[in-house]
């Protein structure tokens, strides 16, 4: 158990690492002027740009990052970053910061020793104008980037992180201001509520997929897209075309695998799409054709700037296919999984903890686990065919559902942990608290 008192204060290469009464470690705080020695400004002037980004330690013990962003001379970024220091991060950690901004979108950058120029791991966060908020970003959400573009096949090793930064590069010229009270590392508190959650309401068709962010759970019930809070309380629902399948969340948007044609037809006759929705409002934003998914798009996952779509198959096929698209949904490649036969292909997909996790129908239902390159790691009798999504702390979110005649269909999610024997194992009440 974590002691509910202040335990220890130590210095690691200039970064303050303190355990507070929530079990979080304080990486950086600004309670004395010397805190400025740990930070430095780096702006687009290093590339000929004209942005002006600075920082100062305020009397109210906060760091203020401020200046003016310029798009001249192909510039467009300003940043403040720590001087090199070991932060003692580990897999499953979550970065937590208390900030007050101007309503713009900023990035946290994590720096590691790499020969690539302008390389960092990056995750963005929104601010609310003139309002203090706490931002939580699991380390699993950071993507490898170079010059702001996603770099493939560069998973983050938290033990290598030797610096942290905050960057503004939203392509909006003009003044900016962000205050930071502290930066900590801990586990994601919201996941405590996800031990087991029932979705409020009943729906005409069965559950097809789920995904979650730090504030909400998103459920797709074939013809109804649903948003709840993390306790399952209904927030929004919208009718959608039949057949909406599995979904994933990225950068404030929901991406849903949709088939308007036939599933599992040997001759094809599918009509495969990805529909894009605003995660806040559930308003439809775009439709992207993915007709390469020959037997019907059913599931979707995201990794390193690319989308990966799975779907139905005729009953006589003894392998599975994954269709890779870039961030603009231009087709890249068809991948093969030597999985053996699964009933009607693959229904759900997520990339988490350096693995792909695929849920398949059947009696019993099947979980396929592959490495990042779709090489088989295991085949298990575990049912996540109605939804699978990654969480921090090495955990995943698995969905279940049922339909009753004259009553409708319901859904639920439960936290699961990888298990050598069963692939995944549901977390019970005694294991559910993240400390």
CATH number of the domain encompassing residue 99: 2.60.120.430
261 and 374 part of one domain: yes
Average pLDDT over all residues of the chain:
90
Looking at 186, 208, 232, which one is the last position of a domain? 186
172 and 230 part of one domain: no
Strand partners, 370: 356, 376
Q: b/e map of 266-291 (b: 16 or more CB within 10 Å)?
A: eeeebbbbbbbbebeebebeeebebe
Tell me how far apart the alpha carbons of residues 318 and 337 are, in angstroms, rounded to a whole number.
9
Question: Global pTM?
Answer: 0.67
Q: Comparing 278 with 12, which gets the higher pLDDT?
A: 278
Res 45: pLDDT:
87
Provide the residue range defining the domain that includes 37: 9-186
Contact 229, 235 (CB under 8 A): yes
Asked if the structure places residue 197 within a domain, the reply is yes
Q: How many CB atoms lie within 10 A of CB 59?
A: 6
40 and 158 part of one domain: yes
Asked if the structure places residue 3 within a domain, the reply is no
Tell me how far apart the alpha carbons of residues 423 and 413 are, in angstroms, rounded to a whole number.
17
**What tokens appear for 334 in the block?**
């068809």
201 and 121 part of one domain: no
356 and 261 part of one domain: yes
pLDDT digits (tens, 9 = 90+) for 342-385: 999 999 999 999 999 999 999 999 999 999 999 999 999 999 99
Q: Which helix (H) or strand (E) holds 415?
A: strand 408-419
67 and 152 part of one domain: yes
329 and 388 part of one domain: yes
Looking at 142, 169, 186, which one is the last position of a domain? 186
81 and 147 part of one domain: yes
Q: How many CB atoms lie within 10 A of CB 79?
A: 22
Q: What is the average pLDDT across 212-238?
A: 95
Q: What is the average pLDDT across 247-268?
A: 97
Q: What is the average pLDDT across 149-161?
A: 91
201 and 179 part of one domain: no
Tell me how far apart the alpha carbons of residues 431 and 435 are, in angstroms, rounded to a whole number.
10
Query: What's 215's domain CATH number?
Result: 2.115.10.20
Asked if the structure places residue 4 within a domain, the reply is no
165 and 255 part of one domain: no
Lowest mean pLDDT among 136-145, 265-274, 347-356: 136-145
pLDDT digits (tens, 9 = 90+) for 163-176: 999 999 999 999 99
């Amino acid at each position: 158990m974590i002691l509910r008192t202040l335990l220890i204060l130590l210095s690691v290469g200039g970064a303050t690492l303190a355990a507070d009464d929530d079990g979080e470690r304080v990486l950086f705080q600004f309670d004395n002027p010397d805190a400025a020695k740990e930070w430095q400004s780096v702006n687009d002037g290093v590339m000929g740009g004209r942005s002006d980004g600075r920082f100062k330690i305020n009397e109210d013990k906060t760091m203020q990052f401020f200046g003016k962003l310029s798009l001249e001379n192909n510039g467009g970024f300003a940043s403040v970053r720590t001087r090199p220091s070991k932060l003692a991060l580990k897999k499953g950690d979550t970065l937590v910061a208390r900030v007050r901004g101007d309503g713009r979108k900023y990035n946290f950058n994590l720096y590691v020793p790499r020969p690539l120029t302008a390389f960092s791991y990056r995750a963005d966060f929104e601010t609310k104008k003139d309002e203090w908020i706490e931002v939580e970003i699991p380390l699993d959400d950071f993507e490898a980037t170079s010059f702001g573009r996603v770099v493939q096949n560069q998973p983050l090793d938290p033990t290598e992180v030797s610096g942290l930064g905050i960057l503004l590069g939203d392509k909006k010229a003009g003044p900016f201001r962000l205050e930071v009270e502290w930066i900590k590392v801990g586990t994601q508190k919201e996941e405590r509520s996800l031990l087991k959650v029932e979705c409020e309401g009943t729906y005409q068709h069965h559950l097809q997929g789920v995904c979650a962010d730090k504030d909400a759970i998103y459920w797709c019930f074939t013809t109804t897209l649903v948003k709840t809070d993390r306790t399952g309380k209904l927030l929004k629902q919208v009718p959608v075309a039949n057949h909406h399948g599995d979904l994933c969340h990225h950068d404030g948007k929901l991406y849903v695998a949709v088939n308007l044609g036939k599933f599992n037809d040997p001759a094809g006759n599918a009509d495969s799409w990805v529909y894009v929705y605003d995660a806040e409002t559930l308003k439809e934003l775009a439709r992207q054709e993915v007709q390469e998914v020959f037997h019907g798009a059913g599931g979707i996952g995201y990794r390193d700037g690319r989308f990966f779509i799975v779907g139905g198959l005729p009953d006589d096929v003894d392998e599975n296919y994954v269709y890779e698209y870039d961030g603009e949904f231009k087709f890249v490649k068809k991948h093969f999984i030597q999985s053996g036969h699964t009933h009607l292909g693959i229904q759900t997909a997520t990339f988490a903890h350096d693995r792909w996790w695929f849920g398949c129908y059947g009696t019993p239902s099947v979980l396929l686990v592959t490495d990042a390159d779709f090489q088989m790691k295991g085949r298990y009798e575990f049912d996540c065919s109605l939804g699978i999504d990654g969480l921090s702390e090495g955990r995943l979110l698995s969905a279940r559902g049922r339909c009753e005649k004259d009553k409708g269909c319901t859904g639920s999610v439960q936290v699961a942990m990888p298990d050598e024997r069963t692939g995944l194992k549901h977390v019970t009440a005694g294991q559910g608290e993240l400390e």
